[in-house]
């Protein structure tokens, strides 16, 4: 059962996931460094990092919610989910941006930085949920020995 405390903690997870994705995405800050600036399908004025950070935060929070629903509350699962969240901007640009030497170098740096920074954020998320356990089901019958 998903408790009220878990739902409050998911708000913190959303902020931490946004921070996890923001650090690698900051490697391409500035309109001149936007990897999607010369792509034909992304015609918006906003920097594409806004899109990638928001998508990574939402997908990372969904991944943590899935871990909680499956009761996978081990440190390594949160470490991997944090790394996946922080590496998302690099994988997004790898799939969506037109590749040249400068873009590939930025994407490689984003993936390496995302792996390390995301692991730290995953451990911070683990610290939030470490002591929270699921509440017992009130409808379950107690068995007598």
Domain ranges of the chain: 4-129
Confidence (pLDDT) at 60: 94
* Average confidence score pLDDT of the chain: 84
pLDDT tens across 43-72, in order? 777 777 888 999 999 999 999 999 888 888
**Residue reference for tokens 């941006």:** 97
Q: Is pLDDT at 136 greater than 60 in this prediction?
A: no
Whole-model pTM?
A: 0.80
Q: What is the chain's length?
A: 145
Confidence (pLDDT) at 143: 62
Confidence (pLDDT) at 141: 61
Rounded average pLDDT over 7-14: 86
- CA-to-CA distance for 31 and 139, rounded, in angstroms? 56
Confidence (pLDDT) at 44: 74
User: pLDDT grade, residue 86 (50/70/90)?
Assistant: very high
Let me know: does 10 contact 66? Beta carbons within 8 Å.
Answer: no
User: pLDDT grade, residue 6 (50/70/90)?
Assistant: confident
- CA-to-CA distance for 61 and 81, rounded, in angstroms? 9
């Amino acid at each position: 059962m998903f408790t009220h405390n878990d739902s409050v903690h998911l708000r913190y997870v959303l902020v931490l996931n946004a921070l996890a994705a923001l650090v690698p995405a900051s490697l391409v800050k500035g309109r001149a460094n936007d990897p999607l600036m010369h792509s034909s399908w992304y015609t918006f004025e906003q920097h594409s990092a806004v899109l990638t950070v928001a998508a990574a935060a939402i997908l990372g929070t969904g991944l943590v919610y899935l871990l909680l629903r499956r009761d996978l509350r081990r440190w390594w699962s949160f470490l991997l989910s944090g790394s996946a969240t922080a590496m998302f901007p690099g994988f997004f640009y790898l799939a969506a941006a037109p590749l040249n030497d400068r873009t590939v170098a930025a994407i490689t740096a984003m993936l390496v930085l995302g792996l390390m920074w995301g692991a730290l954020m995953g451990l911070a998320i683990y610290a939030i949920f470490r002591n929270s356990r699921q509440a017992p089901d009130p409808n379950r019958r107690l068995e007598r020995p």
